[in-house]
Structure 1
Amino acid sequence: MEENQTYPVFIKLNRLQILIVGGGNVGLEKAHALLENCAQANITVVALDFLPGMVALTRQYPNISLIRKSFSCGDLLGKDLVIAATNITEFNYHIWENAKGSKVLINVADTPELCDFYLGSVVRKGNLKIGISTNGKSPTVAKRLKQVLQEAIPDTLDEVLIKLSIIRDRLKGDFASKVKQLNNITEVLVKPESEQL
């Protein structure tokens, strides 16, 4: 049975240069997903045409630029990540070949076998982010899990995170000692209510 071999990481998008090839619905969806998680993401979109929604993004986010032209391998220069988001399978494969040749990580929309990474569903509660991946098997399941977790996790959890950060900064001792102290403090978060009395 196939297992999910991906390793979840949280990328600081504002430190990277991202290329999206495709100005249609899929490109717009990917750009929105990136910008929702990091409003300072540096995104270049290359396409022959752009949906009005993509053009509108440039007014809201000055760090996204649109270049009206067909993709060429030179577009990958200086890029850290690329998303192939056109509706032409052969063209997406061409982009993938160029990205691999340039050693740039690539996501080919709706083609898991050509993806170095996925844009999973993300649950956000202030400073807390939880990434959900189904290994490309069912984005719909990931979306539903996101809804469940978004409702189940209280909004006040961000206050807890901020207070724990302050406590962590005040703790004395070596790393192991600090970890032990924080484990004792946060144990209440996982204890059943009957044991908390």
Structure 2
Amino acid sequence: MNTLFPIFVKAENLHILIVGGGYVGLEKVTALLTNSPDARVTLVAPEIRGEIQELAQQHPKLQLILESYQPSHLTDKDLVIVGTNDKSVNRQVQADCKSQRILVNVADTPDLCDFYLSSVVKKGDLKIAISTNGKSPTFAKRFREVLEEILPDSLQETLDNLTAIRNQLKGDFVQKMEKLNEITKVLR
């Protein structure tokens, strides 16, 4: 049973640490900055791929530290994503995060994760996060591709229209919700 509680975080209000500068680090920093271009991200690794260095030139809030992970890198961090090819480093970062009560995701190691990164469908302001409870990120990716293909690009116009309607409604919260529920019944 999937007992995960889905949330969307305002990454631009957090300081996120990514440990690992290889392919997985590139994947994680790309996903993060694609969804939250103003996120404050520090990436630490003894070697950093050229593509990550290019991203840092485009994103001034992406700081690169070219050195091995140290517990001091956790200072003032709110969230940590780990993606090195060294399992002992991954376990050490996870243990350090636990001792400081910092939420951590260790790529490809569900047992060490406090949260999972989802596959995301984005159509304008609509975002749909897909999780397989850590069982198959590949399935989540494929399902995302299916949803991206079938969801119309005109969804943004629908969202904008519903926002305009909501802003014009009179009454208390319950009355507004009842009216919006009635209007959106056609989406069933």
* Smaller-chain TM-score bracket: over 0.9
Alignment correspondent of 1:14: 12
Counterparts of 2:6 and 2:74, CA distance in 1: 24
Query: What is the CA distance between 1:133 and its match in structure 2?
Result: 0.3
> Pairwise CA RMSD of aligned residues?
0.7
What is the aligned partner in structure 1 of residue 45 from structure 2? Answer: 47
Find the counterpart in structure 2 of residue 83 from structure 1: 81
1: distance between equivalents of 2:138 and 2:163? 34
Q: Partner of 1:128 in structure 2?
A: 126
The Cα of 1:74 is off from its aligned counterpart by 1.0
CA displacement 1:19-58 (0-9 Å, x = unmatched) = 0011111001000010110111110001111110010001
Query: Equivalent residue for 2:35?
Result: 37
CA distance in 1, matches of 2:52, 2:7: 27
Deviations 1:77-108 (A, max 9, x none): 11010011110111100000000001100000
- Classify the secondary structure of the residue corresponding to 1:180: helix
SS of the residue aligned with 2:129? strand
Letter in structure 2 aligned against 1:175: F
Provide the residue aligned with 1:26 in structure 2: 24
Aligned length: 188
Matching residue's letter, 1:61 = H
Structure 1's unaligned 5+ residue stretches are: 191-197
Runs of 4+ in 1 over 3 A off after TM superposition: none
Q: Following the alignment from structure 1 to structure 2, what is the Cα–Cα distance between the partners of residues 147 and 28? A: 20
Residue number in structure 2 paired with 1:179: 177
Matches within 5 A, 1:78-157: 78-157=76-155
TM score, norm. by length of structure 2: 0.98
* CA distance in structure 1 between the aligned counterparts of 2:174 and 2:49, rounded to whole angstroms: 53
Residue 162 (structure 1) aligns with: 160
Do residues 65 (structure 1) and 63 (structure 2) align?
yes
For 1:168 and 1:184, locate their aligned partners in 2 and report how far apart those are by CA, in whole Å: 12
